[in-house]
Structure 1
Amino acid sequence: MALPSSTITKIPNNEPDAVPSLWNLRYEEIDQNFSYLEQHRSQMRSELDAAKGGKASVGERLDEMSTQLQSLSPDYQDDLSATAMFAMDQAALANRSVQSLKEQMQQEGEVTIRNRGVVTGCAVTRSTTAARNLNLENGIAFMNGRIFSAPARENAASVPTNTSNSAVTVHAFLYFHEGSQSMRLSVTAIGDDVPAHGIHIYNITIPGNSTDETDPSLDYVTLTNVRRIEPEFPANLNSPRTETISIKDLRDSDYRIDIDLVSAVGEPCRSEQVEVVSRATNGFTLQLATGADDIVVRWRVSKLDN
């Protein structure tokens, strides 16, 4: 807004023109300047209110602006970055602690322990009447908490040929034959494990290039006896079944082990019949004091001060 008149015309004392009409003109100039000043003061007050930005005074607003400007300083930014990094490190540490609690300080799992073997007999020998066959000696085996007869049988199972250049190992096992209500002998195929329904009794090592033509009598085949023999089953177990369970490494072996017996097949099984007989920082061993079979055990390892 421009000032209407920067000066007010002076009325000379001795000029003939200094008549009352000239005073009216000067009064108008004075009124215009007062009006301008009033409008200018209103505008300044409005601009001042805007400058305060909602604060009680301009000084308070300046203090706020100073704080905001300070927050953008390099030192403030460095402090902010350090604080953010520290917070992220603490969050990562907390996450690792939770992960460690879930995966290491408290570990748990489930295992099925098969409790099977031979009471007497059940030896395996090479057949003398058929190529690459095995004979089963008469005996008694136990499985599912019960005992079963295993009648002698010639040429009870055959050993597979091995046409590769390297030796391989297969497994001889007993299985329950529904038709005869007794045990029969079988041999796994190359690369297979003993099936869940079997009783492992022998390992058979077959050399390379072993066939009906090169070794019909199994002279170069090695039979390794792995029978678990329990002559007093189920009253007394001379070689109780054990199961070693691996865990993630702990700092010490003084951890707690909780055992939950889920199910068992055959004779009754109580929780106290599943014993912890040894422990190390990377695992522990359970031992059965029962004739039951297919025992499902849930376990938990806890070491909260690891």
Structure 2
Amino acid sequence: MALPNSTITKIPNNEPDAVPALWNLRYEEIDQNFSFLEQGRAQMRSELDAAKGNKGSVGERLDDMSAQLQSLSPDYQDDLSAAVMFGLDQAAVANRSVQALKEQAQQEGEVTISNRGVVSGCSVSRSTTAARNLNLENGIAFMNGRIYAAPEKENAASVPSNTGTSSVTVYAYLYFHEATQRMRVSVTAIGEEVPEHGIHIYTITIPADSTDETDPNLDYVTLTNVRRMEPEFPANLQSPRTETIAIKDLRESDYRIDIDLVSAVGEPCRSEQVEITSRATNGFTLRLATGADDVVVRWRVSKLNN
């Protein structure tokens, strides 16, 4: 670190040249050097303070650094790695336990149970007056917790043609006709399911190459009756609606099931009218003991000792 005035010119010894102006210049140069040294000293003091950190002296700081370096020995690193791995293993165990509690020991969900069917009649038959048509027999159906008339109708619905090389399945269903406030019958298109508010009454199997030309009278078409008959609805249900709910496997089937009735359409529905009829380690079955329709149920399965 060089001084700003590293060389100060000597004042001449001869009397005429030793004037005060020369002395003043030399004093200024010396003052500049002292000022520079003081700045350097302050900088060194600042660097020493930084080097000490939170210790009382640089020596204490060096001792502390030495201890830290010794702690990084191979044996210490092995011990530290083992401790970290053990901690990670314990955290993984805890995480799996929490996950099992959330997804298995306590499970919950929501299900909507529809309750529709036929009180009487409502059978379908092949038409004899129109190609590939079905007739509907007079009857009574129920949905929305109420009963509705289903008047007899000839050529009430048509069965689609199947031009493919393999048989297909379609469905005949009853639906509520707003304008007449009566039930009518329809048949789904190939590849479609029964609409959400339809009542499935027949499954229809159409063979390959079945068209107006090859089978106008539906002689080779199979009509399978799947009507749910409840002649004493709503006072007495002979085949109550059931719903099987799948759950993640538990070790035993002695788990607790809590039922919360959210809503129902039509007749009143109480919680005790949603009955638990069976349970297994992978699911349970609910039975609806009411004439209500579209019953929304929240359920919770608990087995804390699983």
TM-score range, shorter chain: 0.7 to 0.9
In the alignment, residue 198 of structure 2 is paired with which amino acid?
G
Which residue is 1:202 aligned to? 202
The equivalent residue for 2:149 is: 149
Q: State how far apart, in whole Å, the 2-side matches of 1:69 and 1:239 are.
A: 80
Distance 2:161 2:214 in 1: 10
1:278 aligns with 2:282: no
- 1:205-216 map, 5 Å: 205-216=205-216
Q: Does 1:218 align with 2:222?
A: no
Helix, strand or coil for the counterpart of 1:96? helix
Larger mean CA deviation between 67-76 and 209-218 belongs to 67-76
Structure-1 separation of matches of 2:304 and 2:199: 40
Question: What is the match of residue 166 of structure 1?
Answer: 166
Q: Distance in 2 between matches of 1:115 and 1:181?
A: 19
Is 1:242 aligned to residue 250 of structure 2?
Answer: no
- One-letter code aligned to 1:165: T
Do structure 1's residue 227 and structure 2's residue 204 form an aligned pair?
no
Give the gaps of 5 or more residues in structure 2: 1-47
1:64: Cα distance to partner? 4.6
Runs of 4+ displaced beyond 4 Å: 55-58, 60-66
Q: Cα deviation per residue 1:18-39 (whole Å; 9 max; x = unaligned)?
A: xxxxxxxxxxxxxxxxxxxxxx
Q: What is the 5 A alignment of 1:1-306?
A: 54=55, 64=64, 67-306=67-306
Instruction: State how far apart, in whole Å, the 1-side matches of 2:58 and 2:198 are.
Output: 92
Q: Under a length normalisation based on structure 2, what TM-score does the superposition of the two structures give?
A: 0.79
Report deviation, 1:209.
1.8
Q: Secondary structure at the match of 1:87?
A: helix
- Structure 2 residue aligned with 1:37: none
Bigger mean CA deviation after superposition, 63-72 or 116-125: 63-72
Question: Aligned partner of 1:305: which letter?
Answer: N
What letter corresponds to residue 193 of structure 1 in structure 2? E
Structure 1 residue identity aligned to 2:183? M
1:70 aligns to what SS in structure 2? helix
Task: Note the alpha carbon deviations across 1:1-25, whole angstroms, 9 max, x for none.
Answer: xxxxxxxxxxxxxxxxxxxxxxxxx
SS at match of 1:128: coil
Question: What is the alpha-carbon distance in structure 2 between the residues aligned to residue 185 and residue 291 of structure 1?
Answer: 22
- Give the deviation of 1:70 after TM superposition: 3.1
Deviates more, 1:77-86 or 1:232-241: 77-86
Q: Which amino acid aligns with 1:296?
A: V
Aligned-partner residue type, residue 224 of structure 2: T
Q: What's the offset of the Cα at 1:65?
A: 5.3
Query: CA 1:183–1:57 in 2, change beyond 3 Å: closer, same or farther?
Result: closer
Distance 1:80 1:166 in 2: 69
Q: d(CA) in 1 for partners of 2:157 and 2:65? A: 94
3-state SS, counterpart of residue 88 of structure 1:
helix
Q: Secondary structure at the match of 2:295?
A: strand
d(CA) in 2 for partners of 1:243, 1:171: 21
Task: Mark the structure with the bigger radius of gyration.
Answer: 1
Query: Separation in 2 of the partners of 1:174 and 1:81?
Result: 70
Secondary structure, aligned partner of 1:240: coil
RMSD value over aligned CA atoms?
Answer: 2.2
CA apart distance, 1:57 = 11
Letter in 1 for 2:294: D
Count residues with an aligned counterpart. Answer: 257
| SS of structure 2 residue aligned to 1:211 | coil
What do the CA deviations read for 1:71-117 (whole angstroms, capped 9, x no partner)? 21112111111111121222222222222221111111111111000
AA matched with 1:201: I
Q: Distance in 2 between matches of 1:287 and 1:151?
A: 31
Q: Deviations over 1:225-258 (max 9, x none)?
A: 1111011111101101101111111111111111
Residue 217 of structure 2 aligns to a residue whose secondary structure is: coil
Listed as ranges, the gaps of 5+ residues in structure 1 are 1-46
Distance in 2 separating the partners of 1:128 and 1:155:
9
Residue by residue, what CA displacement relative to the aligned partner does 1:175-222 show, whole Å, maximum 9, x if unpaired?
Answer: 111222211000111111111121111111112222111211111111
The alpha-carbon deviation at position 61 of structure 1 amounts to 7.4
**Residue identity matched to 1:294:** D
For residue 292 of structure 2, what is the amino acid of its counterpart? A
